[in-house]
Amino acid sequence: MTTSAGGVRPLEDGIRTDLRGQLDYAGYLDLERVLSAQHPLSEPEHHDELLFIIQHQTTELWLKLMLHELRAARAQLDADDLLRALKSVARVKHILRTIIEQWSVLATLTPSEYAEFRGGLGSSSGFQSYQYRAVEFILGNKNAATLAVFRADPAAHDMLHGLLAEPTVYDAFLRLLARRGLAVPREILDRDVREPWVEHPELIPVLADIYRDPSSAWDVYEACEDLVDLEDAFQLWRFRHLRTVQRTIGFKPGTGGSSGVGFLRRALDLTFFPELISVRTEVGA
């Protein structure tokens, strides 16, 4: 048995040290490309630009995983596998918690520090994140006008154009409810999925029945609450985004041409599952 001495932990005998010709950690993760993908443009290079780049690159990686999980959740709902769908939704909620807290790192960037390299961003803006737009689309906030932003990127444009014509996670959930025998109105099931979701008051009585008798379909009741959790987490992410931008640039216009904080504030009025909020007024009334 080996023992540590002087604060040094000896290597165990089984640890591989000769990795020539073997798949190693850096190779599996393609770290050479990942860690060389940060290219500050400020001259001379500003110390804090690396923070700004890494913040947004890591967010894009999390958005990739969110979209992966939301696509899976939709497919699982289509297959009537509600419990597996909820596992994917739960993972998305945890991702959102991570990127909500991540804003606190960017918030260490002061207005003076950001001003020293902001000009190098040109017209680039988070509004141009096609993965963020894809997540919004699959959750129901569809806006065909935003596709114009991606005309110069055919792959991104095609992906978003495809998602625009596909059902949302909420569409898939409501279709599952209909297959379970709940009286989801036919006009909702047959709606034009290219349109953004708007509240359908005629759906509220269907959801109210679920909430009045949770034991009759506990998994469906739990799914409703999980979707509300998902929406709450997304709204918190939007709010932290707004507050971080306001803290860093005040009320300046955004680099992509938006009004900045005002534009972000209006996003807080958007909702993915409005009936799941409205139904609470009916329960117990």
Q: What is the pLDDT of residues 57-83, one digit of tens each?
A: 999 999 999 999 999 999 999 999 999
Task: Give the mean pLDDT of 181-202.
Answer: 97
Q: How far, in Å, CA of 274 to CA of 174, rounded?
A: 13
Q: Is 221 annotated as a binding residue?
A: no
For 167, 231, 238, 265, 267, the CA distances from 262, given in Å and listed in that order, are: 30, 21, 12, 5, 9
- If we measure between CA atoms, which residue out of 233, 239, 219, 274 comes closest to residue 93? 233
Q: What is the pTM of this model?
A: 0.93
Instruction: Provide the percentage of residues in the chain whose pLDDT is more than 70.
Output: 98
Distance between CA atoms of 86 and 219, rounded to whole angstroms?
9
Is 57 annotated in some ligand binding site?
Answer: no
User: In this predicted model, which residue has the larger pLDDT, 3 or 116?
Assistant: 116
- Calculate mean pLDDT across residues 203-213: 96
Residue 188 is assigned to a ligand binding site: no
* Mean pLDDT, residues 126-152: 96
Share of the chain above pLDDT 90, in %: 84
Q: What is the pLDDT of residue 3?
A: 58
pLDDT at 198: 95
Answer yes or no: is pLDDT of 97 > 60. yes
List of residues 6+ apart from 73 with CB closer than 8 A: 85, 86, 88, 89, 92, 169, 172
Closest by Cα among 134, 102, 129 to 236: 102
The pLDDT assigned to 189 comes to: 97
DSSP codes joined into one string, 231-246:
HHHHHHHHHHHHHHHH
Q: How many CB atoms lie under 10 A from the CB of residue 36?
A: 8
pLDDT of res. 269: 87
**Residue 2 confidence (pLDDT) above 60:** no
Query: Could you tell me the pLDDT band of residue 226, with boundaries at 50, 70 and 90?
Result: very high
pLDDT of residue 4: 57
56 is in an annotated binding site: yes
52 is in an annotated binding site: yes
Q: Poorest-confidence range of 127-141, 150-164, 262-276? A: 262-276
Give pLDDT, residue 64: 98
Whether 55 has a binding-site annotation, put simply, is: yes
How does the average pLDDT of the chain come out, rounded?
A: 94
Interval 112-117 mean pLDDT = 95
241 is in an annotated binding site: yes
Q: By the 8 A CB rule, do 195 and 142 touch?
A: yes
Residue 203, pLDDT above cutoff 60: yes
In 3D, which of 157, 153, 283, 165 has the Cα closest to residue 221?
Answer: 283
